[in-house]
Structure 1
Amino acid sequence: MVEAGRHAARGDASTRVDDTAPAGLAATLARLRGRSRATLRDRSRRVRAVGGIALQAGLAAALSWLVAHQVLQISQPVFAPISAVSTLAASVGQRLRRTVELIIGVTVGVLIGDLLLLVIGTGWWQLALIVVLAIVVALFLAGSAAAVIQAGATAVLICTLSPSVRDLEIPRFLDALIGGAVALLVTAVLLPLNPLRVLNRAARPALDLLSDQLDATAGALADQDAAPARAARAELRQNKDEVKALVEATQGAREASTLSPLHWHERHGPVGRYAEAAAPIDRSMRNSGTLIRRAVSLIEDGEPVPEPMPRAVAELAEAVRLMKRQFAAGDEPTRARERALRAVCAAGDAYREGVGFSGAVVVAQVRTTASDLLVATGLTQGVANRLVRRAFGEMRPPPAARG
């Protein structure tokens, strides 16, 4: 009887496991499908982001080979397309500098290789000495990895091929010059990138991250629940990639609007305004991080949360969203400025209703972040500070904090 009961119990248990197994498997499969879709989206986004650069690289490689081979009659112009692709592989905004670095590196490698070969001859130790000197001189003159690599590689070619290949130096120099020049021609004239599109693509993740975490913090303050604010704090700490991408995009936009005649008119318009916004956006993210950390402390310590305080943080989030939309449209970000000042007004109301120690820091960071956003929209720091002080209102001491 007891044994039968045990068997029944084991049967029930196995039934329960069998019943739950399909559900667990379904959940696992659903997670895998979701991850696969996310991966496909990420890969598609990467392809779209670099698709224009891939087209530029292909065109520049073909044109540089044609110019070197057909026009200058270089029999094997291998290094012209390599130089072109190397130039275009540089971060957008660094291509003119990369071209100069390539030419410096090749020149150093050719000069040092030729001069030392005449004095010390060829051999393994001569190769080592020439490469070391070429790299040291390139590092002294240019201080970049591209110049160092080109100098070292060119020195190796001169040392190893010059005894068997005549007149290698001039074609090698011309290859680098042609490749870099054609890459710049493609970038500036034939297939120029739209600088405003470059900026929008780079700024969107940073601004979305900032607005989302400010929204989460406003909700945490309204509900007096520290968990969402802690999560927002952790998310905002991982913003280095977004900020780096935005800074690089501003360099690229400046380069595109400087080199390309099609975009010269944008240098002092939307592109110029957008490019100037990178630094204050970075500051606003750091100041928002302090705001969120103090919001967590405020909730955990049970300090008072005046009704206008969550509203102030939510208004900041909306100001960021409006700035993103107006920048993307190429409009003057007047609505974003108005919303940032509304955040400051709400922060002033919260301060006068009564806040504790961490609450006062949250209020101060709302003011500071709003000032950063105003500067990002194109105002000077002095004008932004005056507007913030006026919007905040009277600075009389708050009532004694409750709790």
Structure 2
Amino acid sequence: MGRSAADRVRDRFRAGTRRVRASWLPILQCAFAAGLALFVAADVLGHPRPFFAPIAAVVSLGISLNSRLRRSAELVVGVALGVLVGDLIIAQIGSGVWQLMLVVALAILLATFFDGGNVIAVQAGASAVLVTTLLPPGDMGGLERCLDALVGGAAGLLVAAAIPVHPVRIVRREARRVLDDLVTVLTEIAAALREADPRSASRALRRARDTQTAIEEMRTAVRSAGEVAVVSPLHRPRRRLLRRYRELTERADYAHRNARVLARRALTALEDGEQVPPELADAITDLATAAGALIRELSRDGHREQARPAILDACDAPVLSGAPVPAPTWEEPVPATSLPVLTAQVRSIAVDLLQATGMTRTEAMRALREQLPDPERLPDTEARPGPE
């Protein structure tokens, strides 16, 4: 039965409330930065109508919260360049359609020449449009408005340093999301193998292929948080912890890539009618539970190693060591030719998760060999996932 309109409205209201609760500090930053930029440009420098100063402050903060500081600098320079070019040109040739086309082309051309980034080029063109269409011809305030844009950008960076968003909290939230996705994919793969259901395996593969966006967002969050820690003295001591999250990001990326290979091979095995031993599905379920333990440990910064026993315990099944499994009782079974690939991918995911707890690859491989019931069967190196 479908959900009622009232339920959907309540869900949207709750989602909006969560977004506001998560964004209150960036909103406060934008408000302070806009006020500071306007005060400096109008009251300190004495510029009339310094509207570009608060605009540059708000927009530069919006960029720097979710991306790199370099993009923030590109934006501010783009604003200043577009304002300067627009002011200088329309003061000489007036405003109109062809004047607008000329100013926009020149602003983007210069921005591309100096940097080549998309942000600076687009912002230069947009600022030139504003100057050309909103300001009267002959208004000689180009240098002042260019300075206003730089003042606004500086105000945004100053407020970001003085009232910083907590960098670790953002990264931790993204890390939980990435690991939650891994738990879901592994759980769905295990269920598909246990039920011998190719359609479930196909759904698991689709979900596994959709996780790369979350990984890239986590990578961006880690990079941005590191820059906040550099700019803000309050968060500088957290740089070491952020380096750990950077390593966690790379290990989680490898784990997801191995999970995609695992899902694809599981789908192939089920479509071919191979009889995969149920012990493998149990081991994958245990590994998903271990990944959940790592998620819980993320709330205790510096204690990731406490998730290691759960990861290793998930690998004590004989099927993962290549040991013989009981022969199936059904008639004319299809040989499980995919089993070596499946078990290798499960072991690779386990190694990735152990590295996510802070172990080196050598330490993780050694710990895995010691955990497996038949360690001499495990090769010295695990295969990395190939192209998908």
| Shared fold (TM-score, shorter chain, > 0.5) | yes
- Whether 1:70 aligns to 2:29 is no
Q: Does 1:364 align with 2:344?
A: yes
Kept after mapping to 2: 8 A contact 1:60/1:179: yes
User: 1:394 aligns to what?
Assistant: 376
CA RMSD of aligned residues (A): 3.0
1:11 counterpart residue number: none
Q: Distance in 1 between matches of 2:148 and 2:355?
A: 45
Q: Is 1:201 aligned with 2:173?
A: yes
Q: AA paired with 2:324?
A: E
Distance in 2, Cα, partners of 1:98 & 1:172: 21
Comparing 346-355 and 66-75, the one that deviates more: 346-355
Q: Does 1:294 align with 2:265?
A: yes
Letter of the 1:164 partner, please give it.
Answer: G
Q: Which moved more, 1:212-221 or 1:73-82?
A: 212-221
Residues 175 and 348 (structure 1 numbering): CA distance in 2 closer, same or farther, change over 3 Å? farther
1:137 aligns with 2:110: yes
Structure 2 CA distance, aligned partners of 1:324 and 1:174? Answer: 47
Q: Please report the TM-score for the alignment, with normalisation by the length of structure 2.
A: 0.82
Structure 2 stretches of 5 or more lacking a match?
326-334, 380-388
* Aligned-partner Cα distance in 2 for 1:162–1:32: 50
Which structure has the highest helix share of the two?
Answer: 1
Q: Name the counterpart of 1:83.
A: 56
How does 1:15-34 map onto structure 2 within 5 Å?
Answer: 27-28=1-2, 30=3, 32-34=5-7
Q: Deviations over 1:61-87 (max 9, x none)?
A: 122112222222222121111111111
Paired amino acid for 2:281: P
Match of residue 171, structure 1, among 128, 137, 144: 144
Identity of aligned residues (%): 39
Query: Do the aligned residues in 2 keep the contact of 1:188 with 1:259 (CA within 8 Å)?
Result: yes
- Give 2:383's aligned residue: none
What secondary structure does 1:305 align onto? Answer: coil
Deviations 1:198-218 (A, max 9, x none): 012222222112112212322
Change (3 A) 1:258 1:310: same
Residue aligned with 2:376, SS:
coil
CA deviations on 1:237-264 (whole Å, 9 max, x unpaired) are 3224422332222122212222111111
User: Within 2, Cα distance between the matches of 1:183 and 1:34?
Assistant: 40
Match of 1:221 in 2: 193
Report the residue type matching 1:276 in the other structure: E
Segments of 5+ residues of structure 1 without an aligned counterpart are 1-26, 398-403
Query: Which residue number in structure 2 is paired with residue 15 of structure 1?
Result: none
Residues 219, 95 of structure 1: alpha-carbon distance in 2 compared, 3 angstrom cutoff? closer
Displacement of 1:220 in angstroms is 3.4
**Distance in 2 (alpha carbons) for counterparts of 1:154 and 1:204:** 39
* More displaced 10-residue stretch of structure 1: 109-118 or 197-206: 109-118
Q: Between Structure 1 and Structure 2, how many residues are aligned? A: 366
Residues in 1 aligned to 2:357 and 2:186: alpha-carbon distance in whole angstroms: 19
Amino acid at match of 1:305: V
- Length-normalised TM-score, structure 1: 0.80
Q: Distance in 1 between matches of 2:204 and 2:100?
A: 56
| CA–CA separation in structure 2 for the residues paired with 1:390 and 1:297 | 31
Aligned to 2:204: 232
Instruction: Please give the residue correspondences for 1:114-125 in structure 2 after superposition, counting only pairs within 5 Å.
Output: 121-122=93-94, 124=96, 125=98
Distance 1:309 1:198, change over 3 A: same
The residue that corresponds to 1:12 in the other structure is none
Alignment check: 8 A CA contact 1:347 1:363 kept? no
Structure whose alpha-carbon radius of gyration is higher:
1
Instruction: Pick closer, same or farther for the CA change 1:335–1:220 going to 2, 3 Å.
Output: farther
Matched, 1:245 2:217: yes
State the SS of the aligned residue for 2:250: helix
**1:165 aligned partner, one-letter code:** D
Contact 1:306 1:350 in 2 (8 A): no
Answering whether residue 119 of structure 2 is matched by residue 146 of structure 1, we say: yes
1:192 aligns with 2:164: yes
- What's 2:283 paired with? 312
Q: In the alignment, is the contact (CA less than 8 A) between 1:109 and 1:151 conserved in 2? A: yes
- CA distance in 1 between counterparts of 2:191 and 2:113 reads 54
Return closer, same or farther for 1:347/1:70 CA change in 2, 3 Å cut-off.
Answer: farther
Letter in 1 for 2:207: E
Contact 2:80 2:150 (8 Å CA) reproduced:
no
Distance 1:100 1:130, change over 3 A: same
Name the CA distance, whole Å, in 1 between partners of 2:186 and 2:4: 28
Of the three residues 347, 353, 369, the one matched with 1:373 is 353
Letter aligned with residue 343 of structure 1: A
